[in-house]
Every structure is written in structure tokens, then in C-alpha cells.
Amino acid sequence: MFRLLSRQAFKAVPRPVFRLSTGTSRRIHSVQLPYSGPPSYDTIARRFSSSQIDPQAFFARKRQQEAKERGEYVDIHDIGGVDPKDFDILITDIDHGKLQHEIAEAVGIAYHLEATKEDANRIIEAGDCIIYGRNLRTIFPAVVACEMGKAHWVFFIVDTGSPLTYLSAQTSALFGIKDGDYGLTPVKIAGHLHGVCRSPDNSHFTEVNIIGMDFCNMHDVSQWNDFKNRRAKLYIGGKWKVVEESKL
């Protein structure tokens, strides 16, 4: 549906600039700036709208240009890597024992149970989760399969604060990922190929498995929560995305 812009929004739309010179006109293309307006939720919604320029990308390019002007070296291809040992989180409410007993009981599948070949090859687009405990942890039961042909049921904590996806020390040992091996190991999680890390042995989450933002980003994951019934769903692949346009 087409909507007329308000006067204020209409004024914010960038216009081409014309300059007269010796009787001729010339169109000057100015750099598009991120949307700005009065401090309000409507301004934030408009600024972050997909129809507007990405403010993070804009200011990143601006900083790079300023660095170049100062004579500093800028490698636009160097986005930096994440060291698996740089991340840590204190998780005191879930450990290997909880995964084996309470959470396995709620899920109805034994933790680390060998998965069938059918489940190992199945690509999940809508994963069912439980919301566990007083800390409202989202637990995603999924089959992890590796190149060696092993496939087991693993329970992941979905943690949007984690940059990477980790397997616990116990799960890593199950798939042959040795102590001290902190490189990426290719596995399939719920049918989706992804690189995982072993939870660092000096961290506070050595006994838990974590779905991190790298998985959510790479596989276009969105989450739906039903806190009343303590259930959640992970929609994987972007096919299930529901986008609500802001009413401006």
C-alpha cells in the first residue's frame, strides 16, 4: 500500500542539487546520509528501516576514509577473526548433569543418544525448543553429525551474546575434538553445515553447548518465544521470517 509522507518526513528525503553555470544546469549527486529526525521511536524505526542507508556501514566507511586521509593503512578485507578463547560466560544453572537428567527428561530424548540416519540427514527449518529454568534458557535439541559418520542428540543453549558456536568438553570428546583443539570443526547441526569450537577448558561453560550468533547469522535464524508455555521455535533459513513495516 502506498502512503503519503508527512511534511516532516518529506523534508527529510534527499533532493538532487542543481547548480547554474554559464547558462547550463548540471546534476550533482550528494552522498546519501542515514535518516535523522527528532529523538523518538518513529525516528529510530525510520533510521533502521531497510529502505534507508545502513548507518553502521555508513559510519564504518566514514571512519575508513578518515583513516586514509590521515595516511593510515586500511584493509577493507580485514574484518578480524574471533578467538574462541576470548569469550567466556558464567553459566551456573546448567551443567553436564542437568543436560543428562532434568533437560533430557523434559525433552524426552537421552542426552548424547545416537541419532538415526534419517534424523542425521534431515534439514530442520523450524526447530522446537524449551525455555528452561528461572533464567529462561532457550534449549535447542538437535542432532549433531560429523564427517566420520557419527550422529548424536545434543542440547544447545541459544545464546545471542556468544559470537561463536561451541560444543562442550563432553560433546567434543564424543566427536573426536581433542583438548586444546580450538579451531573450527565442520559438523552438521540440525542438518545445517557449520563450524564449531570446543568450549575452552579454562572457561566457565566447559560443560554446555552453545548456539552462537555466528550460526544465527550464517543460517538466517529468527526466534519465536512462548514464555507462558515455556516453549520456543528457531526458524532457520529465513523462509519463515515475518516482517512488520513500521507505520510512519
CATH of the domain at 152: 2.40.70
Q: Is residue 2 part of a domain?
A: no
* Final residue before a domain boundary, out of 69, 98, 118: 69
Q: Is residue 182 part of a domain?
A: yes
When mean pLDDT is compared across 41-45, 49-53, 173-177, 178-182, the lowest value belongs to 178-182
Q: Is residue 79 part of a domain?
A: no
Q: 16 pLDDT exceeds 90? A: no
How far, in Å, CA of 79 to CA of 211, rounded? Answer: 22
Residue at 198: amino acid letter: R
100 and 17 inside one domain: no
- pLDDT tens for each residue of 98-149: 899 999 999 999 999 999 999 999 999 999 999 998 889 999 999 999 988 8
Q: 152 pLDDT exceeds 90? A: yes
* Final residue before a domain boundary, out of 39, 69, 99: 69
How far, in Å, CA of 153 to CA of 16, rounded? Answer: 58
Paired sense of beta strands 185-189 and 137-146, if any: antiparallel
Pick the residue with more confidence: 94 or 28? 94
210 and 178 inside one domain: yes
Q: Is residue 78 part of a domain?
A: no
Q: Domain count for the chain, please give it.
A: 2
- pLDDT tens for each residue of 26-35: 444 466 888 7
147 and 213 inside one domain: yes
Q: Is residue 243 part of a domain?
A: no
- The model's confidence at residue 7, banded by pLDDT at 50, 70 and 90, is very low
Q: Residue 50: which domain range?
A: 7-69
Residue 74: the pLDDT is: 52
189 and 162 inside one domain: yes
Q: 72 pLDDT exceeds 60? A: yes
119 and 189 inside one domain: yes
- The model's confidence at residue 223, banded by pLDDT at 50, 70 and 90, is very high
DSSP label of 142: E
Confirm if 226 and 130 have CB atoms less than 8 A apart.
no
12 and 121 inside one domain: no
12 and 120 inside one domain: no
Mean pLDDT, all residues of the chain: 78
How far, in Å, CA of 192 to CA of 195, rounded? Answer: 10
- Sign of the C-alpha dihedral computed for residues 104, 105, 107 and 113 taken in this order: positive
121 and 194 inside one domain: yes
- The model's confidence at residue 167, banded by pLDDT at 50, 70 and 90, is very high
If you compute the radius of gyration of the chain from its CA atoms, what whole number of angstroms results? 24
45 and 159 inside one domain: no
Burial class (CB in 10 A: 0-12, 13-18, 19+), 89: middle
When mean pLDDT is compared across 78-92, 98-112, 144-158, 219-233, the lowest value belongs to 78-92
Q: Is residue 222 part of a domain?
A: yes
64 and 88 inside one domain: no
Average pLDDT over residues 15-39: 58
Residue 73: the pLDDT is: 61
Average pLDDT over residues 215-224: 93
When mean pLDDT is compared across 90-94, 156-160, 237-241, the lowest value belongs to 237-241
151 and 56 inside one domain: no
127 and 203 inside one domain: yes
Q: Is residue 230 part of a domain?
A: yes
When mean pLDDT is compared across 49-53, 99-103, 180-184, the lowest value belongs to 180-184
Q: Is residue 246 part of a domain?
A: no
